[in-house]
Amino acid sequence: MFHGIGMFGGLYVMEASRRAGQSERAVSRTIGKLEEVRRELKIMEEKFDKLVLIDMAIWSLVQEKTGLTDDDLAQRVQEIDLADGVADGKITRTNDVGQKCGDCGRVVSQRHRRCLFCGSKSLESGPFGGV
């Protein structure tokens, strides 16, 4: 079978081959997970870009209609930031209670763009839908 390397050498080669196969499968799984994370990151980037666009549109409308200034906005951002007791430049989410699907009425996590039960996109209604 394994001429010139002996029985133990042959066993070693077989074991090394088995381990190499396991490593290849582990690498393949890791690559699959990496591709999934890349897809999720792309979705997050798209949501972020949409949110920035909406924020810019809202702020320009508010300025036109009310005469508020950038300083007024900065003050309000600071007030809202401090509402959770921590000045960290972000909203602290206390829980993910979910939202009701407009089609089937079941509660779905805020993290989802579609209803997990009926597939409806009704969760994306309004200007902040899907953000």
75 lies in the same domain as 85: yes
Of 117, 94, 96, 98, residue with least CA distance to 107: 98
Place of tokens 């579609």: 114
25 lies in the same domain as 86: yes
- Is 37 domain-assigned? yes
State residue 125's pLDDT score: 59
Environment class of residue 108 by beta-carbon count within 10 Å: exposed (0-12), middle (13-18) or buried (19+)?
buried
Of 73, 58, 37, residue with least CA distance to 128: 58
Q: Which DSSP symbol is given to 92?
A: P
65 lies in the same domain as 76: yes
- Can you give the residue range of the structural domain that contains 118? 94-124
For residue 10, give every residue at least 6 positions away whose Cβ sits within 8 Å of its Cβ, in sequence order, or none.
1, 2
Looking at the 3D structure of the chain, how many domains does it have? 2
- Is 131 domain-assigned? no
Q: Where are the beta strands (DSSP E) in the chain?
A: 99-100, 107-108
Going residue by residue through the chain, which has 131 residues, state the pLDDT in tens, using 9 for 90 and above.
455 567 777 788 888 888 999 999 999 999 999 999 999 999 999 999 999 999 999 999 999 999 999 999 999 999 988 887 888 988 765 545 567 787 888 888 777 777 888 888 766 555 655 55
- Is 39 domain-assigned? yes
- Is 38 domain-assigned? yes
For residue 69, the Cα-to-chain-centroid distance in whole angstroms is 33
- Is 28 domain-assigned? yes
86 lies in the same domain as 101: no
